[in-house]
């Protein structure tokens, strides 16, 4: 018997996320086709270079996935804590225990990073290696318990959605393209000086073509990855709010954290930027050029996130009905 | 969670498993015989309130229903308390020999929430026990897992792990026990314990 449920998947979000992933796949296919075409056109094999880039890029992606928890914790300067280490640790462990029991999830490890930036992130290659990290800035901020729980539920949704794996897989193409640009660039630089007659000219053209294709692929996939990242954030907001049943608490947490973030000095922000993709709220200062910054940002705008949470609120507030 | 759900970043709320709760009364007999712990007659359901009118109405209905049934038999009215983590505890107090009635009360709360589509909000149920030395013991049922675990609080927010493991030894075969010890989370200050 199917239990009665208030849950309804967000069709719009599903469609947009599917479209983004489809486009990423399309870019990948086009990339492969272009490389084959380049090789065929000049009767030369660019396979060795491409294979080298794929192996190196693959190694890099798998490595960063495998060590994602350690890398992120090291970068953030976070320390893993047990439930009895401090009152803060006890508070977070208590919240996470309950959310895990509610969502039937394995409990992630908990870490605290000593930074003034009020933020949180979750990482780790799978549920067994997941780490949830909150900053002291978040614990010292004016968030109440319900709002802090909203932030933690959002991060736990990232773990449940396997966002680290999905984003690593999505970034694979961009990593390879970036490597090829570099290889082709140096190939052009050093390949030109050797002077082996006609063959030399051919190599230069192949290198140039490879570089041009890679640059285009890199730019397009970069935009698509950012787009996917924004949809994953919205999905995590949604799941987190459904889990706690309190979308309003998450909304007020988002507003508080975003306004606090704008007040933090810029030097702190630059140091935190590499971690942006994992954060609850982006650490970059968004300036007046809103249209451009939304295309490049890893997180959706505050307004967008609040609007999506309004939908969840309506969904939860409806009087009981069949599952739709 | 399926592959497609992962790809699309969605989690379906987990529905509770309710049936295994009814194994409690028979396990309580074994617990008394094996470890000397008797039910105090107090039990509670812990759930996550949802904001909005709809959930508030359901909670009010449940409360009225339980008050009605316990009032007929001269029992105490049910109590609702909110803990510091934002969860609500609906506490039902019966006579210590009325464990069957208590479990029925708790089950009434479960079914009302599930029937109204709030099944995923159920966290756990706690039935309190005590022995001659006034040691406290809570048997906690995790709705999403359908498993039990013991929680024995000591003063100063410490747990009597030895007692908890002893209890597991005594009734481990009567009840479905939670095998993953990391899920035996403490519920400090749980009402009714």
| Least confident among A153-167, A208-222, A308-322 | A308-322
Residue range of the domain that includes B50: 28-180
pLDDT the model gives residue B48: 92
| Least confident among A280-284, A303-307, B47-51 | A280-284
The residue in chain A having the minimum alpha-carbon distance to the alpha carbon of residue B14 is A103
| Least confident among A216-220, A286-290, B30-34 | A286-290
Nearest to B119 by CA among A148, A320, A155, A95: A320
Spatial distance between the Cα atoms of B102 and B112, rounded to a whole number of angstroms: 16
pLDDT the model gives residue A36: 81
Q: What is the mean pLDDT of residues A26-50?
A: 78
pLDDT the model gives residue A323: 41
* pLDDT bucket at B50, cuts 50 / 70 / 90: very high
Alpha-carbon distances, residue B176 vs A8, A100, A120, A255, B141 (angstroms):
32, 19, 36, 44, 9
Residue B130 resides in a domain? yes
> A97 contacts in B (CB within 8 Å)?
185-186
Backbone angles phi, psi at B125, to 5 degrees: -125, 145
Whether A323 contacts A5, CB under 8 Å? yes
From the list B11, B85, B86, which residue is nearest A160 (CB)? B11
Residue B23 resides in a domain? no
Residue B138 resides in a domain? yes
Delimit the domains of chain A by residue range.
12-68+166-223, 78-163+230-316
Is the confidence at residue A195, as pLDDT, over 50?
no
pLDDT the model gives residue B185: 92
Q: Say which CATH topology domain A78-163+230-316 has.
A: Zincin-like (3.30.2010)
What is the interface size between A and B, counted as CB pairs within 8 Å? 134
Measure in Å the smallest separation between the Cα of A233 and chain B Cα atoms: 9
Residue B104 resides in a domain? yes
Query: Which has more pLDDT, B98 or B28?
Result: B28
pLDDT the model gives residue A175: 86
Residue positions counted in chain B: 193
* pLDDT over 90, % of chain B: 41
Is the confidence at residue A109, as pLDDT, over 70?
yes
Residue B15 resides in a domain? no
**Paired sense of beta strands B88-93 and B38-47, if any:** antiparallel
In chain A, the largest separation of any two C-alpha atoms, in whole Å, equals 79
Per-chain mean pLDDT for chain A? 81
Q: What is the pLDDT of residues B160-184, one digit of tens each?
A: 999 999 999 999 888 999 999 889 9
Nearest to B47 by CA among A213, A182, A245: A245
Measure in Å the smallest separation between the Cα of B182 and chain A Cα atoms: 7
> B84 contacts in A (CB within 8 Å)?
145
Q: How many domains does chain B have?
A: 1
Nearest to A134 by CA among A104, A109, A157: A109
Chain A interface, best mutation among B2, B9, B188, by max A CB count within 10 A: B9
Q: What is the pLDDT of residues B61-92, one digit of tens each?
A: 988 888 887 665 656 678 889 988 999 999 98
pLDDT the model gives residue A191: 56
pTM (two decimals): 0.86
* Tokens (6 digits) for B184: 């035996």
From the list A101, A157, A244, which residue is nearest B144 (CB)? A101
Spatial distance between the Cα atoms of A200 and A195, rounded to a whole number of angstroms: 6
Is the confidence at residue A72, as pLDDT, over 90?
no
> Given A147, A149, A155, A233, which residue is catalytic?
A155
The residue in chain B having the minimum alpha-carbon distance to the alpha carbon of residue A99 is B123
SS3 of A87, please? Answer: helix
Kindly determine whether residue B142 and residue A101, on different chains, have CB atoms separated by under 8 Å: yes
Q: Is A155 a catalytic residue?
A: yes
Nearest to A78 by CA among A23, A138, A35: A138
Is the confidence at residue A320, as pLDDT, over 50?
no
Nearest to B130 by CA among B41, B26, B33: B41
From the list A235, A243, A313, which residue is nearest B9 (CB)? A235
pLDDT the model gives residue A321: 47
Residue B48 resides in a domain? yes
Spatial distance between the Cα atoms of A229 and A223, rounded to a whole number of angstroms: 10
Is the confidence at residue A192, as pLDDT, over 60?
no
DSSP one-letter code for B183: G
* Tokens (6 digits) for A1: 């018997």
């Amino acid at each position: 018997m199917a239990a009665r449920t208030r849950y309804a998947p967000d069709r719009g979000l599903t469609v947009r996320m599917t479209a983004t992933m489809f486009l990423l796949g399309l870019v990948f296919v086009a990339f492969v086709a272009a490389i084959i075409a380049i090789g065929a056109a000049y009767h030369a094999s660019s396979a060795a270079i491409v294979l080298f880039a794929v192996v190196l890029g693959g190694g890099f992606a798998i490595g960063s996935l495998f060590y994602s928890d350690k890398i992120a914790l090291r970068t953030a300067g976070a320390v893993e804590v047990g439930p009895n280490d401090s009152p803060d640790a006890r508070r977070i462990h208590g919240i996470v225990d309950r959310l895990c029991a509610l969502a039937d999830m394995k409990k992630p490890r908990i870490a605290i990073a000593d930074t003034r930036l009020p933020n949180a992130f979750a990482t780790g290659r799978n549920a067994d290696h997941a780490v949830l990290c909150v900053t002291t800035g978040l614990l010292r901020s004016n968030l109440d318990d319900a709002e802090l729980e909203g932030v933690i539920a959002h991060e736990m949704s990232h773990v449940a959605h396997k966002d680290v794996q999905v984003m690593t897989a999505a970034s694979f193409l961009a990593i390879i393209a970036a490597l090829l640009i570099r290889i082709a660039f140096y190939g052009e630089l050093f390949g030109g000086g050797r002077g082996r007659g006609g063959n030399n000219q051919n190599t230069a053209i192949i290198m140039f073509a490879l570089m041009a294709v890679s640059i285009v692929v890199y730019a397009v996939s970069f935009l698509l990855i950012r787009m996917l990242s924004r949809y994953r954030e919205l999905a995590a907001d949604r799941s987190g709010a459904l889990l706690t049943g309190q979308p309003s608490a998450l909304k007020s947490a988002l507003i508080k954290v975003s306004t606090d973030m704008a007040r933090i000095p810029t030097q702190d922000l630059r140091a935190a930027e590499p971690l942006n993709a994992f954060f609850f709220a982006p650490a970059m200062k968004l300036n007046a050029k809103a249209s451009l910054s939304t295309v490049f940002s890893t997180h959706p705008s505050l307004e967008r996130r609040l609007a999506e949470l309004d939908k969840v609120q309506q969904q939860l507030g409806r009087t009981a009905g069949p599952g739709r | 969670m399926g592959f497609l759900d992962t790809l699309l970043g969605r989690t379906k709320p987990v529905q509770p498993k309710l049936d295994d709760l009814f194994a409690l009364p028979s396990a309580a007999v074994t617990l008394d015989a094996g470890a000397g712990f008797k039910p105090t007659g107090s039990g509670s359901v812990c759930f996550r309130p949802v904001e909005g009118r709809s959930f508030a109405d359901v909670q009010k209905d449940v409360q009225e229903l339980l008050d009605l049934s316990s009032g007929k038999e001269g029992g105490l009215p049910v109590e609702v308390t909110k803990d510091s983590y934002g969860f609500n505890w609906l506490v039902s107090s019966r006579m210590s020999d009325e464990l069957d009635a208590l479990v029925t009360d708790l089950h009434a709360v479960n079914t009302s929430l599930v029937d109204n589509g709030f099944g995923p909000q159920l966290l756990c149920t706690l039935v309190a026990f005590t022995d001659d030395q006034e040691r406290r013991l809570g048997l906690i049922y995790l709705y999403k897992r359908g498993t039990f675990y013991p929680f024995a609080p000591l003063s100063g927010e410490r747990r009597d792990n030895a007692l908890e493991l002893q209890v597991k030894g005594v009734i481990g075969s009567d009840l479905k026990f939670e095998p993953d010890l990391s899920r035996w989370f403490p519920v400090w200050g749980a009402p009714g314990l």
